[in-house]
Structure 1
Amino acid sequence: MRQFTAVVNPAAGGSSGTAGLLPLARLLREAGAQLDTQYSRSLEHARQVARQAGEQGHVVLAVGGDGIAGCVGGALSGTDTVFGLVPAGRGNDFARALGLPADPSALADLLLNGTPRPVDTIQVESAVHAGVSVLGSVYAGVDAVANRHANTSKLLRGAASYYAGGLRAVVGWRPAEYRITVDGVEHERRGYTVVAANSGFYGFGRNIAPGARLDDGLLDVVVIQHAPKRLFFAMMNELKTGAHLQRPEVEILHGKEIRIEADRAIPYGADGEVDAALPVTARVQPGALRVLC
């Protein structure tokens, strides 16, 4: 029987992340599993708890949204620890990419009996992040600005905070001159954003990179080039279905190591957290994390 340590973001979804764990915890314990619950005081504290639990042979669960998922999963990248995810945040985009069931009974069965699957992670290198690993994507541009607005919104929650944040970001956006180096080949582009995607989803279910696969050893690089802002707003709706890929302003590149630079200190985000600025390098780490999915 597996032993679990749940690392909980107590502020997930704008409320208590515990609510997402309670029905699952009951099912795991009824099945005979041991479950230790730890509440994170910070991202660094969450990483420490995750690594210590992994060293004890526990399955480590991240309870919350994409921030805690990326933090805990990234901390376990390159280890033999088995990682599980209990989606309880606003976006839950990595859980969406993994195809995790929403029903607590189905999720409990997966965590108790599922076979771990190796998936890729992303190593991030910048002035702020030195060798930090994340799970879903690294994105630099108007979407990072939008996500920062969404994360700091006190009035709106869920999808509404992302839409409002996106509107505010686009209205104030000035086109950036990007230099994107993909496996040593430079591409100069002017536009809105560059996304190095391991997972196809970000920003509350937007399918930014429909072709991205979690286990192919590659990053899908989505470049949204300059266009009138009215077209960009239309493109935001198309991100739900992947229809944006048909637009000439959208370019897809593929590579293992991506460096993103710009003509100014544009913010970048990773797995929902935005706390740094370009330049940044994203490097795929094939099969680095064992996930129950």
Structure 2
Amino acid sequence: MSATGARRRVAMLVNPAAGGSRGTDLAATAARRLLARGAEVELIAAQDVGAARDQARRCVADGVDVLAVVGGDGMVHLALQALAPAGGAVGPGTPATAGAPALAVVPAGTGNDFARVLGIPRRDAEAAADLVLDGEERTLDLGRVTGDGTPPRWFGTVLTSGFDALVTDRANRMRRPRGRMRYNLAMVAELGLLRPLPFVLDVDGARHELEATLIAVGNTTTYGGGMRICPHAAPDDGRLAVTVVPAVGRAELLRVFPRVYRGTHVSHPGVRTFTGRRVRVETADMRAYADGEPLGALPLEAEAVSAAVGVLVPPHRRRAARA
């Protein structure tokens, strides 16, 4: 890639507020690195979500070689809406990534779970930028979400609903602290309101009526800054992984919760796991999040779309799907 990489056209989209307003500095560092190596770089600082979305779509339409985002999982989520195949359909034998720009990520967010799973450097902007020229393009699946009266949305990591959606909602409203601790504090605050929810879960036509604390649907293993909620997920197997955390009390949830970071919570006798191409989640008066971004109210249906996006990752990590 290095022979042609020096002439690569790179659009670098930055969230200036990412990483406690460090996003702009990290973007400048990454852009300088690429320019010094001969790449053509357009640095774009979007001031709000709408502008960022429009700019991402413009860059894809302009035919850049790489769409690089500087930010967290929210910026990755935004880029996926521009890069994923129109209509969500992939023709037989034709990768959805054919002719589309590759996605590169310079992590600058709070959780950076998309980068974490793919082995993209999360604390070295220059090393992350080098992947634009030296990385291996890996073709990944995405989840495509549809709901009543809402346009389709794409996600790269995990879709969640239930207690976790309430915690994410609270954590997103908190300004401090940063990182994993913010999520932990939000969880403690929501524990006082903990209640089981009656879900209807449909996996490839098999219907399950159950009470649960939360349901997670994973294209990858990890969310929330390193929690391996769906350790059986792989982003290149054409399927989604589902984890159902049962209706448990506060004390039991606190006892099991630390195991999520290792992915060993699935050995709890009440936890259930599934895999499937299509997953529908339904309960009353509840929202869902994916990649840490709000999707809307349930019911929602998620579908695994194979070979939906190409991502530049460190070489020789093709088997790192469950990292």
Q: Normalising by structure 1, what TM-score?
A: 0.95
**What is the CA distance between 1:143 and its match in structure 2?**
0.9
- In the alignment, structure 2 segments of 5+ residues that lack a partner are 1-6, 86-96, 314-323
Distance across 2 between alignment mates of 1:82 and 1:237: 35
Residue 35 in structure 1 maps to residue 41 in structure 2? yes
Question: 8 Å contact 2:194–2:250 — kept in the other structure?
Answer: no
Compared with structure 1, are the counterparts of its residues 234 and 22 closer, same or farther at alpha carbon in structure 2 (3 Å cutoff)? farther
Check whether the contact 2:106–2:129 (CA below 8 A) recurs between aligned residues: no
How far residue 90 of structure 1 moved from its aligned partner, in angstroms, is 0.3
Note if contact 1:143-1:169 (Cα within 8 Å) is conserved in structure 2: no
Task: Answer whether contact 2:221 2:230 (CA < 8 A) is retained.
Answer: yes
User: In structure 1, the residue corresponding to 2:136 is in which secondary structure?
Assistant: coil
TM-score, normalised to structure 2's length? Answer: 0.86
1:1-293 alignment runs, 5 A limit: 1-58=7-64, 59-78=66-85, 80-102=100-122, 103-127=124-148, 129-262=150-283, 264-274=284-294, 276-293=296-313
% same residue: 34
Quick check: 36-45 or 57-66, which moved more? 36-45
After TM superposition, the runs of 4+ consecutive aligned structure 1 residues lying more than 6 A away are: none
Q: 1:147 deviation in Å?
A: 1.0
Amino acid at match of 1:139: T
Q: Output the aligned Cα RMSD.
A: 1.5
- TM-aligned CA deviation for residue 13 of structure 1: 2.5
Equivalent residue pairs, number: 292
Q: 1:237 and 1:135, CA in 2 relative to 1: closer, same or farther beyond 3 A?
A: same
Q: Label 1:130 to 1:218 Cα distance change in 2 as closer, same or farther (>3 A).
A: same
| Structure-1 separation of matches of 2:192 and 2:272 | 22
Q: What residue identity is the alignment partner of 2:105?
A: L
Deviation at 1:64, TM superposition (A): 0.7
Displacement of 1:43: 2.9
Moved more, 271-280 or 231-240: 271-280
With over 3 angstroms needed to count, the CA separation of the structure-2 counterparts of 1:129 and 1:97, relative to structure 1, is: farther
Say if 1:289 and 1:275 are closer, same or farther in 2 by CA, change over 3 A: closer
